[in-house]
Amino acid sequence: MTMIRCVSPVDGEVYAERPAMPLEMARQAVAHARLAQKAWARRPLDERVKLVLAGVARLNEMVDEVVPELAWQMGRPVRYGGEFKGFNERSNYVASIAADALKPLVVEESDRFERRIAREPHGVVFVIAPWNYPYMTAINTVAPALMAGNTVILKHASQTILVGERMVRAFIEAGVPADVFQNLFLDHDTTAALIAAKSFDFINFTGSVEGGRSIERAAAGTFTGLGLELGGKDPGYVMDADLDAAVDTLMDGATYNSGQCCCGIERIYVHESLYDAFVEKSVAWVSNYKLGNPLDPETTLGPMANKRFAATVRNQVADAISKGAKALIDPKLFPQDDGGAYLAPQVLVDVDHSMEFMREETFGPAVGIMKVKSDAEAIELMNDSRYGLTASLWTKDAERAARIGRELETGTVFMNRADYLDPALCWTGVKETGRGGSLSVLGFHNLTRPKSYHLKKVTA
């Protein structure tokens, strides 16, 4: 029997394990979801919304269990209180717009014709969620999918194996029917076989670029709709902004959650007039972290989720230094760095785009800072990436930010903020960051299909 295991970054020991579901049992679970979908979709929209929000509320009641579980599974310090703020914000927002997002588009309603475009649920939605923000990334799709009348199968990353189990438990305890929302423990082969058999009507995957390619290969020829949020190398550009605010937000965006954020800041371009001051303030900001056990309330920076993730960061930093980069954070400030999952943060200067560190996703608490002379140079560098999720612009001039934003190859343009997912806006990416979009009205549209009605009321 294949076991799916979570090795805790806290102590390197197996924290939780579950047996992988055999293919035939998984097929039966999907079949139950399909049988339950029509009845779920026939329920009034407001009833579905209320049940989803009840599930959210029930999960909030489990906070004392959820927060330490997250620390054990993926290393986020307990002082930050889990993911409830974003989890609740996103759930409440999609609930508030569900009726408008799903209402028919009426073209004509006269004594002769009724012509409208309705939104129909896809059917069974498969959500494959990552470990870095396991509750928030899952709810981005789970909440609107259920509200729209789909049933949902949830599969979580092995690093956060308990999250899907707990989330489904909360929703079922709140009244969502068991077959409507299910958590399955699946290995890669079973997952691929289910996808290839067209078991699902829509698939949302958040993870690596290679993971996205595997999903696309498995789905080839099935015509199954896909939403893919993949890698990122998000830039910041500091022009003429409040320097302290820029440092505070960008350094937090680069290092929070040990840098394991989909839209974390991984490279920063600073106008030459502000460069020296920005670098000095950034080094001071990062040096104040306390690296340690995430279960300690005093810890501000926990371990990375797995020692192999930390090894990737160390290798990128070492490669950059070998090519001329300079590391500015004194490792003596972080004696807890054990060469494994516990990794000290780092700020690099004298970097350029010949270095993997400035091109490939790092996904750790390390950031590179480059000096630029003009907007044109900054735009060229920001676009010099195979990824495109967000870009953070720091200026007092909104017109300048909008003008630069139009030139950027990215899914979201921020001005004077970073590393935030606004549930009212579509969360989407370009290039190898993926395709599709979640949240906002468009997120509901991606989780439904248009169905046209042309009703002629007279026969003459």
Tell me what pLDDT residue 458 has: 83
**How crowded is the C-beta side of 46, counted as CA atoms within 13 Å?**
0
CA-to-CA distance for 396 and 68, rounded, in angstroms? 41
Count CA atoms within 13 Å of residue 141 on its CB side: 33
| Cα 145 to Cα 139: distance, rounded to the nearest angstrom | 9
CATH number of the domain located at residue range(s) 3-230+432-456 in this protein: 3.40.605.10
Please tell me the distance from the alpha carbon of residue 205 to that of residue 209, in angstroms, as a whole number: 10
pLDDT of amino acid 459: 73
Q: At 215, is the secondary structure helix, strand, or coil?
A: helix
- What's the whole-model pTM score? 0.97
Backbone phi, psi, residue 447, to 5°:
-95, 10
Q: Residue 112 gets which letter from DSSP?
A: S
| Candidates 6, 261, 262, 263; catalytic one | 262
Catalytic residue among 6, 69, 83, 229: 229
Whether the CB-CB separation of 421 and 87 falls below 8 Å is answered with no
The torsion angle over the Cα atoms of residues 320, 324, 326 and 332, rounded to 10 degrees, is 70
Taking the C-alpha atoms of residue 268 and residue 314, their distance in angstroms, rounded to an integer, is: 19
Q: Where do the structural domains in the chain lie, given as residue ranges? A: 3-230+432-456, 234-386+390-424
| Residue 440 exposure: Cα atoms within 13 Å on the Cβ side | 11
Residue 256: Cβ within 10 Å count: 18
Is residue 262 part of the annotated active site? The answer reads yes
> What are the per-10-residue average pLDDT scores of the chain (460 residues)?
95 98 98 98 98 98 98 98 97 98 97 97 98 98 98 98 98 98 98 98 98 98 98 97 97 98 97 98 98 98 98 98 98 96 98 98 98 98 98 98 98 96 97 97 98 90
Q: Is domain 234-386+390-424 in CATH 3.40.50.720, yes or no? A: no
- Residue 24 and residue 180 in contact, taking contact as beta carbons nearer than 8 Å: no
Counting Cα atoms < 13 Å in the Cβ hemisphere of 270 gives 27
6 counts as catalytic: no
Tokens 């929070």 sit on residue: 256
Residue given tokens 């009845």 in the structure block? 39
85 CA to centre of own chain: 15
Q: Which residues pair with 6 in a beta bridge?
A: 16
Q: How far is it, in rounded angstroms, from Cα 304 to Cα 9?
A: 7
